Amino acid sequence: MNSSEIRQLKPFLSMLFITTTLLGLVFVKMEERRLSYAVLKLTQEHKKATESQKQKEILLAKMTRPQLLENVATHKLTLKRVTASQIIHLTSAETVKASTSTARNSN
């Protein structure tokens, strides 16, 4: 190639470079927009999941209220309230003595 041919190619090469650069910029902007929408969608899903978890925690707290559990136990399961004579208080020393005495009695 001689210098006259190179001079003739310079405008074409510069236009090719400018066009390629502009197309690259458009591609980068489109990719940025696409990622922004993906992040927005994930943020909304996270917000929904967090709200759902809060609602489930509130529902669990309501379902495990002592009054509700007592009501279910007495009405649906026909259980009775505990009386003082049914409660046995054991300390750690009495527990060991009781377990060894029952083991001896069973032999």
1-54 pLDDT per residue, tens:
688 888 888 999 999 999 999 999 999 999 999 999 999 999 999 999 999 999
Q: How far apart are CA 97 and CA 107, in angstroms?
A: 16
**Tokens, residue 19:** 């066009």
Q: How far apart are the first and last CA of the chain?
A: 112
Confidence band (pLDDT; 50, 70, 90) for 105? low
Q: Which of 28, 32, 30 has its CA nearest to residue 40? A: 32
Residues 38/45, Cβ–Cβ less than 8 Å: no
The structure's pTM equals: 0.50
**Tokens, residue 35:** 């990622």
For range 55-76, the mean pLDDT: 87
Domain borders along the chain are 3-106
Q: How far apart are CA 52 and CA 90, in angstroms?
A: 43
